[in-house]
Structure 1
Amino acid sequence: MTQTLPQELEQLEATEFDAGLVFSGAASGNMVRGYSSPCSCTPVADSTYIFHESARDVVVWFMNKLDPLYLYGPAGCGKSSLVKQLAARLNYPVFNVTAHGRMEFSDLTGHVSLQNGNMVYQYGPLALAMRYGALFIMDEVDLLPPEVAAGLNGILEGQPLCLPENGGELIHPSPMFRFACTANTNGNGDDTGLYQGTLRMNLAWQDRFMVSSVDYPAADVEKALLARLFPTLPDSITSKMVDFANEVRGLFMGTSDTSINTIEATLSTRTLIRWADLTLKFQPLAHQGIQPLSYALDRALAFRTAPSTRAMLHELVQRVFPVENVSLGE
């Protein structure tokens, strides 16, 4: 007989790991709590994933009973994947929700539904995470409606969750329960114009979090990542791809030394990986006189931009890759 999700979560057994062995491969003597085995809600550990400096804060957060965690940083820098990959190595179950302007509190806690002719209360992701000791991640939290954020105040302080629709049931948080948020802004609104729709969060609400900034990985980290994922791609190409990505990010953030105005899109780590992957897949086009790098860039990023930006990106490709004008050397 197939187990229900609550039954599966109830059977999880907490254990302790050496944090050094889990996260760096070298014993440290510092212990971190997790679970002895994964479940269907546990993220899959990516063996190619490379942790960058921001992981330190999240590791300390996992190791200690600290305030809820608020991670903010530019689009596509890997905020959610950072937390999930750490959770995966601890066999932590994860409930991941993306905030939006029409979200209601019951979307998190649960609601009554009709099942086989009976009215049954279905627990939401937050209620399940609290009861069974999972990690609850709310992405894009700076899009969360204020009334829903206010409803979370007690939860953020460690208080039980009350479910009026289920007879006033109280769910006391498991000692293993963790609450994390990710956002593009630090909660004070967007003064850059890059993230339309984000809200300024209530100061008292922000005060309940430990805050950590996440940026794009260092160049050497991204180069090592591309080398690991795409070993057939020449080092000279992967190195220049990362340099290109960082120049595009500078243009996006308005920190570039060039006279070009800011552009409307950025080249995140995930887009960088997509670009490298497509460059290899479109390599046969080189025999038709089509540059795989430019062709792949359109499909990875440039087609999402204005025509003027796309033209500028292609000019930048020609400048960064002067030798690889047609092919990758095949």
Structure 2
Amino acid sequence: MAKINEEIDTLALAELDAGQVFSGKASGRMVQGFEAASSFTPCLDSEYLFHESSRDVVVWFMDSSDPIYLFGPSGSGKTSLIKQLAAKLNYPVFEITGHSRLEFPEMIGHLTVEKGSMEFQYGPLALAMKYGGLFLLNEIDIIDPATAAGLNGILDGEPLCIPENSGEIIHPHPMFRFAATANSNGAADETGLYQGIVRQNLAFMDRFWLCEIGYPTPEAEIELLSRKAKNLPKNIRKKMVEYANSVRKLFMGEASGNLTDTIEVTFSTRTLIRWADLTIRFQPLARQGIQPVTYALDRALGYRASRETRTVLHELAQRIFPVESVENKS
């Protein structure tokens, strides 16, 4: 633990050109980051595609302000967006995933035995506050509202007191940032799809800057598949995105034509990438008369649905993929 603390404590701050960092073009507007990455800095994904919602988070990073709360459907890229922007700034990220029994010690830390003596081990929130970094609390709308309300002082910029560590007081580092992700906007789940989500305290939610993260545009997802699934033909990648958006419309009850029933599953960008990847991996099945696209579809999404919905998914696939061709060409 001492080595970890020493590594983070020696990180040097840096003034970076925001335009150069986020778009590759100098803008003259500066943003604070770190000179070098640490073991807590997320790896930069060269294939990651930033979409429109990223500008809100970029603005948030550029100025110390209220904590940010990103919400949106599963697999829309909330966590990856935060991490990839943090990676561009060499920001250390201290991450934890919320659950219904989450308690403060998991975030702050606890006493542990080190070389025969009791020593306090800092949790992700304490590390971010003490040394400067981003505390990322995923699935925040699943935690108990009473536990969440215990964060109110931290969200307001107040110091953290750790009674278990001889009453240590941690004043928030100037580089401390607090980000949360969730499937709901804190007012409970309206769709009934996300089990365990609870309505959060209004005073707690009032402390956040909210940012809704939707799915990327069709053009952006086509570009994403061109990076993630280069071995798929261009027309198949385009049809996959068309299919994903048709499923989303069915889920929302916005479809037209004969397929108008609402369904209980939807197509996340994460599932879309998985589908493309599995289609490539199952390509040899074509020699056995098995269609790789529909075979991979069940394993990426269909088996999560009811039998009735799976039938709808297959009917839709037959419309969009009347003749499959997944030869290894582009």
| Partner Cα distance (2:167, 2:251) in 1 | 49
Corresponding residue of 2:10: 11
Question: 1:213-244, CA deviations, whole angstroms, 9 ceiling, x for partnerless residues?
Answer: 11000110010011122222111111110011
| Partner Cα distance (2:182, 2:124) in 1 | 19
| Partner Cα distance (1:3, 1:236) in 2 | 54
Measure how far apart 1:265 and its partner are: 1.9
Corresponding residue of 1:82: 81
| Partner Cα distance (1:9, 1:91) in 2 | 12
| Partner Cα distance (1:282, 1:188) in 2 | 41
| Partner Cα distance (1:192, 1:311) in 2 | 22
Corresponding residue of 2:253: 254
Structure 1 stretch 242-251 or stretch 38-47: which is displaced more? 242-251
Structure 1 stretch 295-304 or stretch 217-226: which is displaced more? 295-304
Measure how far apart 1:310 and its partner are: 1.6
Corresponding residue of 1:152: 151
5 Å-filtered alignment, 1:124-273, equals 124-257=123-256, 260-273=260-273
Measure how far apart 1:329 and its partner are: 4.4
| Partner Cα distance (1:14, 1:255) in 2 | 49
Question: 1:278-298, CA deviations, whole angstroms, 9 ceiling, x for partnerless residues?
Answer: 111111111110000011111
Measure how far apart 1:136 and its partner are: 0.6
CA RMSD of the aligned region, Å? 1.4
For the pair 1:95 / 2:90, whether they are aligned, the reply is no
Structure 1 stretch 281-290 or stretch 115-124: which is displaced more? 115-124
Give unmatched runs, 5+ long, in structure 1. none
What is the aligned-residue identity percentage?
59
- Please state whether the residue corresponding to 1:220 is helix, strand or coil: helix
Aligned AA (1:265): V
Corresponding residue of 1:114: 113
For the pair 1:38 / 2:40, whether they are aligned, the reply is no
Corresponding residue of 1:317: 317
5 Å-filtered alignment, 1:39-78, equals 39-78=38-77
- Please state whether the residue corresponding to 1:4 is helix, strand or coil: helix
Measure how far apart 1:251 and its partner are: 2.0
| Partner Cα distance (2:244, 2:59) in 1 | 30
Aligned AA (2:265): A
TM-score (norm 1): 0.96
Measure how far apart 1:17 and its partner are: 1.3
Aligned residues: 327
Give unmatched runs, 5+ long, in structure 2. none
Measure how far apart 1:84 and its partner are: 0.5
TM-score (norm 2): 0.96
| Partner Cα distance (1:100, 1:289) in 2 | 45
